[in-house]
């Protein structure tokens, strides 16, 4: 009669099953190399699909600046991502603003663009004196929700410098709707800023 080892369970082993083996260093290295190769291949494909620069985009930045200023085309930076990055410089914005100081129509277009901000106005006036915005149209983007303190202060500054609502069809109605929305939202600060423009070409 034999003795059974009390520390061993005869039913603990299931025939046909083996413990999983831990991955060896060679397997891990092979998997890592495969992942790196796949990533590199994907990066190469992305680089290949990037469209080549057009003849205009390939020009030096200084020459692009001159073309932009001579063309008076405010939509040129939006023609491509490359032109947006190249022509989006504070120096060029100041130069462009100074070039069109005596054109209310051009100033109206500049005021509508996102690069025209309160810091840019402050920088311009610190170098070239107060901006005369008489005859230029106020940009409705500055008083459209979501409202920001910077947008409201810039709108008020343009009103003080002579800008008005303008004579573009439908703009006066849009300002009226902005005023109503501000009152409905309980934003008296927005309403006050918009109401300040009523005496400048806007009859609600």
CB of 138 closer than 8 Å to CB of 105: no
Q: Helices in the chain by DSSP H: which ranges?
A: 25-49, 61-71, 81-87, 90-99, 104-112, 118-128, 149-160, 171-184, 188-195
For tokens 């509508």, the residue is: 112
What pLDDT was estimated at residue 181?
A: 94
Under 8 Å CB-to-CB from 124, ≥6 apart: which residues? 94, 97, 98, 131
At 137 the three-state DSSP class reads strand
Q: Where are the domains of the chain?
A: 104-195
pLDDT tops 60 at residue 38? no
What single-letter DSSP state applies at residue 164?
Answer: B
CA distance 183 to 143: 13
Average pLDDT, the chain: 79
What single-letter DSSP state applies at residue 59?
Answer: S
What pLDDT was estimated at residue 8?
A: 52
At 156 the three-state DSSP class reads helix
The average pLDDT across 20-43 equals 55
- % of the chain beyond a pLDDT of 70: 70
CB of 155 closer than 8 Å to CB of 138: yes
More confident residue, 154 or 14: 154
Its pTM stands at: 0.63
What pLDDT was estimated at residue 204?
A: 45
What pLDDT was estimated at residue 82?
A: 86
At 91 the three-state DSSP class reads helix
**Backbone phi and psi for residue 150, each to the nearest 5 degrees, phi listed first:** -65, -40
CA distance 191 to 178: 8
- % of the chain beyond a pLDDT of 90: 35
What pLDDT was estimated at residue 24?
A: 56
More confident residue, 134 or 71: 134
pLDDT digits (tens, 9 = 90+) for 150-194: 999 999 999 999 999 866 667 788 888 999 999 999 999 999 999
Smallest Cα–Cα separation from 153: which of 161, 110, 79?
161
């Amino acid at each position: 009669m034999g003795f059974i080892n009390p520390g061993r369970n005869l039913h603990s082993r299931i025939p046909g099953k083996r413990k999983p083996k831990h991955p060896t260093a060679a397997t891990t290295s092979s998997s890592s190399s495969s992942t790196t190769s796949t990533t590199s291949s994907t990066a190469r494909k992305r680089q290949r699909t990037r469209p080549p620069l057009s003849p205009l985009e390939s020009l030096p930045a200084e020459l692009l600046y001159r073309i932009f200023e001579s063309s008076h085309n405010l939509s040129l930076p939006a023609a491509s991502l490359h032109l947006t990055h190249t022509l989006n410089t504070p120096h060029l914005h100041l130069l462009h603003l100074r070039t069109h100081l005596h054109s209310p129509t051009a100033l109206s277009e500049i005021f509508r663009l996102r690069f025209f901000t309160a810091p840019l106005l402050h920088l311009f006036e610190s170098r070239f004196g107060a901006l005369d915005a008489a005859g230029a149209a106020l940009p409705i983007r500055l008083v459209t929700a979501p409202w920001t303190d910077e947008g409201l202060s810039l709108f008020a500054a343009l009103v003080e410098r002579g800008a008005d609502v303008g004579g573009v069809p439908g703009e006066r109605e849009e300002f009226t709707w902005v005023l109503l929305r501000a009152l409905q939202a309980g934003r008296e600060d927005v309403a006050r800023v918009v109401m300040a423009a009523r005496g400048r070409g806007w009859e609600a």
